[in-house]
Amino acid sequence: MKKKLSFVLKVNKAGSDGTENDIEKRKKSEEIKRKCDDIDRLVELVKVKLNSNLSKREKIQVLTIAPQSWSRKRIATEFNITEYMARKARELTLEKESWLFQVHE
C-alpha cells in the first residue's frame, strides 16, 4: 500500500510543476468558486426580498429566478415557502421561456 501511495504522490508531484495545464485548472477552479459565491449571494438576496412585505404573486415572480436544476422541494425548503408557491413559480418560469422563444409580429 505504501508503494502505491508513494508512486501516486510522485506522479502528482511530477504532474504539478506549474505547467500551463495546472494554471488553467487553477483558473477554472477559481472561476467555479466565484460562480458558487455569486449564486450564494443571489440566494441570500432573494431570501431577504421574500421576507419583505410582498404579496404572494410578487413572491412567486421573485422565485422564478431559482435555478432550474433545483426541485420544487428544494426551492420550498431553501426559501421557506410552500411547495405550491414553488410549483407556481416553476410554471411561470416555463411560461416566460416559451413566450421568449415564440415569434412575435
Q: What are the extents of the domains in the chain?
A: 25-103
Is 105 a residue whose pLDDT tops 70?
no
Per-residue cell: 75: 426551492
Confidence of residue 97 (pLDDT cuts 50, 70, 90): confident
pLDDT of the residue at 102: 65
CA-based torsion, 11, 14, 19, 22: positive or negative: positive
C-alpha 25/C-alpha 21 separation (Å) is 6
Spell out the residues 6+ positions from residue 69 whose beta carbon is closer than 8 angstroms to its own: none
Q: What is the mean pLDDT of residues 84-98?
A: 91
Q: With both helix axes pointing from N to C terminus, report the angle between 56-63 and 20-50 in degrees, rounded to the nearest 10.
A: 180
pLDDT digits (tens, 9 = 90+) for 53-84: 999 999 999 999 999 999 999 999 999 999 99
